[in-house]
Amino acid sequence: MTMLRVATAALLLAAIACGTWAQQAPAPDQTPEQLAQAPQPIQVPRQLPFPRQPGIELPQQPGIQLPRLRIPLLRFPDLTVEISGPDRVAAGDEISLKITVTNEGRGPASGTNDAPATQSYMVDLVLSQDEEVPMGWATQPTYAGYTEDDFVEDMLLLGGRLSNTRTVAGGDSTTYTESVPIPANTEPGVYCLAAVVDPGNNVFEFDESDNIYYHRIRIAPAEEEEIQPPQNVTGLWVMPWGVGGTRLDRIKSSGLVDYAGITDAPFGWRLGLRHGYDNAIPNNTVKYYRWLYRKAGTAEWTELVEAVKVHYVKEEDGDVTFPAYTLGPKGIAGRNLYEFRPHNPPTEPGATTYWPDTDWFGDIYSGFFDTRTLPDGEYRLKLECYKADGTLARPGVDFQFIVPTGTTADGTITTALAPAGRVFGGGYVFALHVDNSHCGASIDPPRLGDGTLTGQCGFLLYDPGVAETQNAARCDISFHATHPSNFATFRFRVIRGSMEAESASGEVNATTASPFSGDGNGNFENSFTRSQLLGPDCPEKAAFSLNLHVRAKATNGWSRLQRYDAHDVRAFAIAPR
């Protein structure tokens, strides 16, 4: 209605102005010469050239002869979308969804079955950690170097683009059904599954602000694999499992990890620590545990003291609730200790309580290592176990540490006794490299070899009489992709019009990223001839954009920490003088 009111007001003002001009009479004291120079009356049509259809008729204004205007109501489509489906799913499972597209406007919204794709709507199914999904085409992580199991913020779910769509008439709706997988490496928690209708903005709509719908869903951990203790393990065992979704056997002795095509990545942000243990635990021999950390090169250990809770089921008078039981920290024998989860949850009068059969709450962590305020660098983490009286349980005597070594074809996790060199001071110790540094990205103004820079208008003007192979005619492009510890990669693209003219990618400390050369500190440059940039389709002039994306390698054990990325863009044009 806002657009309609604006159009109506504009036409009314125009009509008033025209009508007033047409009604002006010559002043009685004007001479014949002045009358000859005066503006002549304008003949105002009684009807503006709109087709006759239902609309709004403007009233006559007192004292002014106005044309009778009929403004047609706008006949644009207005697409909205909704999702219905389960509100819980395990990572790695498929979820079946019903997607309903409604046209709340007056005009039809074309589908790809009836019109070209560039004039039709599609629907993207996007997985996000918040309700801030951008309007536009989403990207499937497999096209950006990840695997099908990896979660990336605001990702297009695999098979989640509805590209075969039906035309929706004004006031009508249509429904689609789709099954999409949840990535297996998705961290447990509450997410938003968003449907974005017309992400390519191909349909001109009356209202473009209502094209995204959010469906909240809790994602539980992937189904637990069977753990196969070593045959020579007797008695109780405890297994440090890993960090987030990264198993301990994938973490290198340097504390770095390879994942999703990324090599030597550090850890960052708030890390969830995990361990497994024998079904007989807890008992008097092994009842408590604690996590500690220290910076490499220092001697003092620091306890991790963030609260750890697990949920249980409580049924009472027909109501079902899920209270949280706090495992710790609990002050015992002068230490901050945590319980191994009791065999039975707390009992409550008049209620039935039990642990859920599956851990769809995501209560998989035994401790939290918040690295955001710590200096970057290598750390040591340590897991200790304690008896019921708060004294240290001795590895190799009271219980044994085992570690994961791999996974068989059926999903079974194989294990081995912990190496003696990893058991130190009564606990299991492993390295973790932490880095929460932000990347840097900047693009220098392109310049000609003679030093001429792009001005405020963004043009590189060349002399056609100078051979393009001469230094004075070459175009120099340079950029800076940096990270304080070189834990980042980059991608740089030169776009001519809508086509990619040049591109480069690699580690920020690379010395070669063809066609660019680097200095090992993130500074890259190359000198191009005009024809290299202009190409055969644009022999004399063209417009360009330079696009730099620097990606942090750091992970929280589940996915890459995109919050530390950096971007830059610059536009320019090449033309003859």
Q: What is the 3-state secondary structure (H, E, C) of 326-375?
A: EEECEEECCEEEEECCCCCCCCCCCCEEECCCCCCCCCCCCEEEECCCCC
DSSP at 192: E
Q: Average pLDDT, whole number, for the chain?
A: 86
Decide which of 97 and 32 is more confident.
97
Q: Is the pLDDT of residue 55 over 90?
A: no
Torsion over CA: 350, 356, 360, 366 (sign): positive
Q: What is the pLDDT of residue 63?
A: 55
**CB atoms near residue 221 (< 10 Å):** 21
Q: One-letter amino acid identity for 78?
A: D
CB 182 within 8 A of CB 91: yes
Confidence of residue 143 (pLDDT cuts 50, 70, 90): confident
Domain boundary among 220, 241, 275: 220
Same domain, 446 and 537: yes
Same domain, 266 and 339: yes
Same domain, 235 and 295: yes
Same domain, 303 and 391: yes
Q: What is the pLDDT of residue 36?
A: 46
Confidence of residue 96 (pLDDT cuts 50, 70, 90): very high
Decide which of 473 and 433 is more confident.
433
Q: How many domains does the chain have?
A: 4
Q: What is the pLDDT of residue 71?
A: 52
Q: What is the pLDDT of residue 361?
A: 77
CB 413 within 8 A of CB 348: no
Q: Is the pLDDT of residue 407 over 60?
A: yes
DSSP at 92: T
Same domain, 420 and 444: no
Same domain, 63 and 144: no
Helix (H) or strand (E) holding 34: helix 32-37
Same domain, 239 and 148: no
Burial class (CB within 10 angstroms; exposed 0-12, middle 13-18, buried 19+) of 371: buried
HSE-up of residue 385 (Cα within 13 Å, Cβ side): 28
Q: How many helices (H) and strands (E) in the chain?
A: 3, 42
At 539, list the tokens.
């022999």
Domain at 174, CATH number: 2.60.40.10
Q: Is the pLDDT of residue 44 over 50?
A: no
CB proximity list for 489: less than 8 A, separation 6 or greater? 262, 505, 506, 507, 508, 550, 551, 553
At 253, list the tokens.
């002795």
Q: What is the pLDDT of residue 5?
A: 41
Q: What is the pLDDT of residue 181?
A: 95
Question: How far, in Å, CA of 418 to CA of 422, rounded?
Answer: 7
Give the 3-state secondary structure percentages of the chain, helix then strand then coil, rounded to 5. Answer: 10, 45, 50
Q: What is the pLDDT of residue 69?
A: 56
Of the candidate ranges 309-313, 465-469, 520-524, the one whose mean pLDDT is the lowest: 465-469
Same domain, 67 and 180: no
At 361, list the tokens.
């709450």
The separation between CA 386 and the C-alpha centre of its own chain, rounded to angstroms, equals 41
CB 375 within 8 A of CB 485: no
Q: What is the pLDDT of residue 8?
A: 41
Nearest partner of 67 among 46, 48, 82, judged by Cα: 46
Same domain, 352 and 412: yes
Q: Is the pLDDT of residue 33 over 60?
A: no
Rounded mean pLDDT of 343-366?
Answer: 90
Question: How far, in Å, CA of 426 to CA of 205, rounded?
Answer: 67
Q: What is the pLDDT of residue 226?
A: 67
Same domain, 14 and 99: no
CB proximity list for 365: less than 8 A, separation 6 or greater? 272, 273, 274, 308
Q: What is the pLDDT of residue 485?
A: 97
At 511, list the tokens.
């010395």
CB 552 within 8 A of CB 560: yes
CB proximity list for 164: less than 8 A, separation 6 or greater? 112, 113
CB 316 within 8 A of CB 352: yes
Domain boundary among 72, 89, 116: 72
Q: Is the pLDDT of residue 515 over 60?
A: yes
Q: What is the pLDDT of residue 225?
A: 64
Same domain, 194 and 293: no
Helix (H) or strand (E) holding 96: strand 94-103
φ, ψ (nearest 5 deg) of residue 122: -130, 180
Q: One-letter amino acid identity for 558?
A: W
Helix (H, G, I), strand (E, B) or coil at 9: helix
% of the chain residues with pLDDT over 70:
85
Domain boundary among 196, 220, 244: 220
Q: Is the pLDDT of residue 49 over 70?
A: no
Decide which of 533 and 15 is more confident.
533
% of the chain residues with pLDDT over 90:
66
Q: Is the pLDDT of residue 212 over 90?
A: yes
Q: What is the pLDDT of residue 3?
A: 44
Q: What is the 3-state secondary structure (H, E, C) of 31-97?
A: CHHHHHHCCCCCCCCCCCCCCCCCEEECCCCCCCCCCCCEEECCCCCCEEEEEECCCEEECCCEEEE
CB 26 within 8 A of CB 35: yes
Burial class (CB within 10 angstroms; exposed 0-12, middle 13-18, buried 19+) of 17: exposed
Q: Is the pLDDT of residue 54 over 60?
A: no
- Tens of pLDDT along 225-235? 666 677 677 78
CB 384 within 8 A of CB 347: no
HSE-up of residue 12 (Cα within 13 Å, Cβ side): 12
Within 350-458, strands assigned E span 352-354, 367-370, 377-386, 400-407, 413-417, 423-424, 427-434, 440-443, 447-448
Q: Is the pLDDT of residue 208 over 80?
A: yes
Question: How far, in Å, CA of 557 to CA of 255, rounded?
Answer: 12
DSSP bridge partners of 395: 399
Nearest partner of 354 among 387, 391, 321, 331, judged by Cα: 321
- Tens of pLDDT along 409-449? 888 889 999 998 999 989 999 999 999 999 999 999 998 87
Look up the domain containing 245 and give its range: 227-434
- Rounded to a whole number of angstroms, the CA Rg of the chain reads 34
Same domain, 428 and 444: no
Rounded mean pLDDT of 173-177?
Answer: 97
